């Protein structure tokens, strides 16, 4: 007997991702599928590239979405920019800095790490002191560390990378569309994001952008990119003027990204970023009124994601279960060093609303009262 047609429940997605998806994004994803070389689809591709450059604040020619989630974006950047034996300096202050190390080592890099405690961020001097005058091919760090709720100040990092002779790689999975991201002004050489966070598109695509320096590094490789599927020297020819076939693009997912990007730019990046900031401030004020502690210092807090310390004597899983079953709200638990110690609440993209803030605060209050 065949299973029944799926009928997922309606949730408020307020975890670390995915976020709620705008109805119009889901609507365009249900439009007729075109061939990946159809002239009308090629026009859509060009419009996506144009809008992604606006979202990243860049003129980089090599800017487009990779097939795969944000982690595919991470692997794309490392696989294309690293050759065996290259030296890479990576900042670790949470799960995703650690994941960078794993990916870089799998590409054959010699990795040196710069580490600060979870919930803290780096200064340029942290990298300079660890480097101790050594040269590196690549320097990498996370702009928005989703596991800890911290926002990394990137000012001064370009100068450090220059001093080390390195390309600068940045993870913007949770910041693109929710915080200011200025690729050209900040001198970022390679950057990746994901569609399922502040862009409020379903997971499945990873926008990336390479500077001319990064593109030159790719062109001058002496060894093939270790991943055929993620090889930008081939994929770039499909997204560029040649339109050379590489793999069958996820057509309807790209429809969704087109609409999600259009909505973000229609709202205006400054207005969108301000909305995330306002709703985050409202949420934090309400949390403090409930007597809940925010372990991340105010000046480095992410607006799209807030980390809350779990009070002593409160069961982590029971609170999250209560929210899901009684209020239809999904929030996230902690990862790594924060596992069992914090909740992670996202106010990303379409989910960053006053009504979601108030619903979550009410739900948390009820869930905490249920344990007393």
pLDDT 10s digits, 271-309? 999 999 999 999 999 999 999 999 999 999 999 999 999
Write the burial class of residue 279 (CB in 10 Å: 0-12 exposed, 13-18 middle, 19+ buried): buried
DSSP, residue by residue, 185-224: TTT-SEEE--TTSTT---SSEEEEEE-HHHHHHHHT-SS-
Q: Which sign does the torsion angle of CA 226, 231, 232, 234 carry?
A: positive
Q: CA angle, corner 350, sides to 211 and 299, nearest 5?
A: 65
Long-range contacts of residues 94-97, Cβ cutoff 8 Å, at least 24 apart: 94/118, 94/142, 94/145, 94/146, 94/147, 94/148, 94/150, 94/335, 94/336, 95/145, 95/146, 95/147, 95/335, 95/336, 96/142, 96/145, 96/146, 96/147, 96/171, 96/173, 97/141, 97/142, 97/145
Per-residue buried b or exposed e for 77-96, using 16+ beta carbons within 10 Å of the residue's own CB? bbbbbbbeebbbbbbbbbbb
Residue range(s) of every CATH 3.90.1150.10 domain in the chain:
12-16+269-369
pLDDT at 254: 98
Mean pLDDT, rounded, for 218-229: 96
Q: How far apart are CA 125 and CA 128, in angstroms?
A: 5
pLDDT at 371: 87
DSSP, residue by residue, 90-130: EEESSHHHHHHHHHHHHTT-EEEEEE--TT----HHHHHHH
DSSP 327: I
pLDDT tier at 234 (50, 70, 90 boundaries)? very high
pLDDT at 337: 94
Beta strand 12-13 with 329-330: parallel, antiparallel or unpaired? Answer: parallel
Q: Dig out the tokens for 187 from the structure.
A: 């001198």
Residue 292: closest CA among 214, 184, 367: 367
Mean pLDDT, rounded, for 95-102: 98
Residue pLDDT, tens place only, 67-79:
999 999 999 999 9
Residue pLDDT, tens place only, 22-62:
999 999 999 999 999 999 999 999 999 999 999 999 999 99
Instruction: Write down the pTM of the prediction.
Output: 0.97
Residue range(s) of every CATH 3.40.640.10 domain in the chain:
23-265
Beta strand 62-67 with 12-13: parallel, antiparallel or unpaired? Answer: unpaired
Mean pLDDT, rounded, for 149-178: 98
CATH class of the 23-265 domain in this structure: alpha beta
Residue pLDDT, tens place only, 307-338:
999 999 999 999 999 999 999 999 999 999 99
pLDDT tier at 113 (50, 70, 90 boundaries)? very high
pLDDT at 372: 76
From the candidate CATH numbers 1.10.3720.10, 3.40.50.150, 3.90.1150.10, 3.40.630.30, the one assigned to the domain spanning 12-16+269-369: 3.90.1150.10
Q: Dig out the tokens for 258 from the structure.
A: 């087109």
């Amino acid at each position: 007997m065949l299973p029944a047609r799926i009928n997922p429940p309606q949730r408020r997605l307020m975890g670390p991702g995915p976020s709620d998806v705008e109805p119009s994004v889901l609507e365009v994803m249900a439009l007729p599928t075109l061939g990946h070389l159809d002239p009308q689809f090629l026009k859509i591709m060009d419009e996506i590239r144009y809008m992604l450059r606006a979202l990243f604040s860049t003129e980089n020619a090599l800017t487009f979405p990779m097939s795969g989630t944000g982690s595919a974006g991470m692997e794309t950047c490392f696989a294309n920019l690293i050759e065996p034996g290259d030296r890479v300096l990576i900042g670790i202050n949470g799960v995703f800095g650690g994941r960078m190390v794993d990916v870089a080592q799998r590409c054959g890099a010699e990795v040196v790490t710069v580490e600060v405690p979870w919930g803290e961020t780096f200064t340029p001097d942290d990298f300079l002191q660890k480097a101790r005058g050594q040269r590196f091919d690549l320097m990498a760090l996370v702009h928005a560390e989703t596991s800890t709720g911290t926002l990394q100040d990137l000012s001064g990092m370009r100068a450090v990378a220059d001093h080390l002779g390195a390309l600068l790689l940045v993870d913007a999975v949770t910041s693109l569309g929710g915080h200011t991201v200025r690729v050209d002004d900040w001198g970022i050489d390679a950057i990746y994001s994901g569609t399922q966070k502040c862009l409020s598109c379903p997971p499945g695509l990873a926008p990336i952008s390479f500077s001319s320096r990064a593109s030159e590094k790719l062109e001058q490789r002496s060894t093939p990119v270790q991943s055929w599927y993620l090889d930008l020297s081939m994929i770039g020819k499909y997204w560029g003027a040649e339109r050379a076939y590489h793999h069958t693009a996820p057509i309807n997912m790209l429809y969704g990204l087109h609409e999600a990007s259009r909505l973000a730019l229609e709202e205006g990046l400054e207005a969108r970023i301000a909305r995330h900031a306002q709703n985050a401030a409202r949420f934090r004020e309400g949390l403090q009124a409930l007597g809940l502690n925010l372990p991340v210092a105010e000046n480095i807090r992410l607006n799209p994601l807030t980390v809350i310390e779990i009070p002593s004597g409160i069961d982590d899983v029971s609170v999250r279960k209560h929210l899901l079953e009684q209020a239809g709200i999904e929030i996230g638990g902690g990862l790594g060093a924060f596992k069992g110690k914090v909740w992670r609440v996202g106010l990303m993209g379409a989910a960053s609303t006053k009504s979601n803030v108030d619903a979550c605060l009410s739900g948390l209050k009820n869930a905490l009262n249920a344990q007393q």
